Chains A and B, each alone.
Chain A
């Protein structure tokens, strides 16, 4: 038993034991594990809607963001019996993915120092049938958020021209993620192909600003449009998930109208609960009706990917 910080608590009727609540997870910001758990409980109402039915991958930082980290896909040992899991046959072995069904599961994850939550891009029962296509804009230094912002302006125009709904959020770092809701029918390979077509169009319009290079050192100063984030097994950080970066930023959904003025640093573990209460869930539309991938592809058929 880890000293005096171990506490038995009830969260919505589930018994949990919190340990090391004073552990500094973001040392420079004075943010402790207790704050992370509190954050999860504060935003749970909205966050759970974005996680529901989606196998989760966590990034854990047991010693804070300056310490070592690891991915947690399979259910950890000694997990409470009430944690719901989804058994998925991976390439090598069976993985028991955690499903977040309730506040208690989020609190439990917080206690394990799960700083990042990555939900699958598909939702049960539609295994490996993504209900979103992601356009991941990742500026490579010295490019900054402002560069991602410019490319996001192009994405906004592209989606308008194609008549497609898309929902942007900050990555929490310097990037922007745009999610397009899909009808869950196509596989990740088909989704990736359409995402590649979109990426190639963006790149063809502004090759000076955008890169599709896989080699990291070739991307310098440009915004990498990473369509491969749609590939099988890939996950994006959830809306409202914290990031293991100084300032404790969170990935924050925003509206297209805010694109020109938004500052990703304003959305942190400390500010997000109030902002969320005031702004509402700007990613709620992502859970609404989706586009058919074939329909998007058909609209693009007049626009073959420039090689």
Chain B
């Protein structure tokens, strides 16, 4: 695993240096896009419709759309001069009951690993949180944003940072149709539904669910790979510069030796 970030948990007077690792990974099947004719992976270019040309990176500037068709340019150095949003710190602000946080608020999960020498304070926080049965609400700045986050125990040993949505990022469901009404329900129907739920109730075992679409897709690819494979029209391997230079020198050396021999005759 490769750590994404280094920082520290700040908890009262204690500072716990940690590394951050992604806790989940994307297993979606990704396709590449190729030019059907020559079977070359296509490349994206940044195109300017006004100038009708590809824009090189040094010609690109960030801008905020202030209103429709009105932009405010923001330069890199202006962004750098902004007050640093809590430098590399996971600031624990409050402790709450996990059941109080609706899962809707959770965004992405990261494992926290204690850096060398921080194992003791890591253990202390972990133990205290386990015994209190609480999760920490924290704020942390990375990837151009000050995140709302929670820190909690996953399993018995590892602390997990969960980035969370701010309340204004959670959309209001009230415009949805058909959610406000409380229709008359026949008690026998309700009874039946309760029974059904009870019958289907098990311990949560995520291992038993599978993405059957993904499996079928990979199977299709594996089957096709037996017959239909497009090898990239790859030219010869790039030539190493040192061997190339040596070959050039050698060839001209021979030509010069030949010319010298011819001159002596």
Contact = CB atoms under 8 A, between A and B. Distances in A.
Interface of A: 146, 149-151, 153-154, 156-158, 161-163, 201-202, 204-206, 209, 260, 295, 298-304, 306
Contacts of A201: 241, 244-245, 248
A303 B244 contact: yes
A157 B241 contact: no
Interface stretch (B68-76, B143-151, B215-223, B252-260): B252-260
Which secondary structure characterizes the binding site on chain B?
helix
How big is the B interface, by class? 20 to 34
A154 B236 contact: no
Nearest to B262: A260
26 contacts: A146-B259, A149-B255, A150-B252, A150-B256, A154-B252, A157-B247, A157-B250, A157-B251, A157-B252, A161-B247, A162-B236, A162-B239, A201-B241, A204-B241, A205-B252, A209-B252, A260-B255, A298-B235, A299-B235, A302-B240, A302-B241, A303-B239, A303-B240, A303-B244, A306-B241, A306-B245
Nearest to A304: B241
A111 B186 CA distance: 107
Contacts of B250: 157
Contacts of B245: 201, 204-205, 306
Nearest to B241: A303
Contacts, number: 69
A299 B251 contact: no
A95 B115 CA distance: 71
Contacts of B108: none
B258 A260 contact: yes
A178 to B, nearest CB: 14
A201 B250 CA distance: 14
Nearest to B246: A205
Which secondary structure characterizes the binding site on chain A?
helix
B244 A153 contact: no
Given A298-B235, A302-B241, 8 more contacts: A153-B252, A154-B248, A157-B247, A163-B236, A204-B245, A209-B252, A295-B235, A301-B238
A300 B248 contact: no
A202 B238 contact: no
A295 B234 CA distance: 8
Interface in B226-241: 235-241
Contacts of A146: 259
A301 B251 CA distance: 22
A205 B239 contact: no
B249 interface: yes
A302 B239 contact: yes
A195 B52 CA distance: 26
B51 to A, nearest CB: 15
Nearest to A204: B245
Interface in B68-88: none
A301 B244 CA distance: 12
Contacts of A149: 255
A157 B246 CA distance: 11
A301 B240 CA distance: 9
Contacts of B240: 302-303
Nearest to A155: B248
A158 B239 CA distance: 10
A206 B248 contact: yes
B255 A158 contact: no
B237 to A, nearest CB: 7
Contacts of B259: 146, 150
A42 B76 CA distance: 66
Nearest to B38: A292
Contacts of A209: 252
B258 A161 contact: no
Contacts of B236: 162-163, 299
Contacts of B235: 163, 295, 298-299
A161 B236 CA distance: 10
Contacts of A300: 238-239
Interface in B176-233: none
Contacts of B251: 153-154, 156-157
Contacts of B254: 153
B265 to A, nearest CB: 14
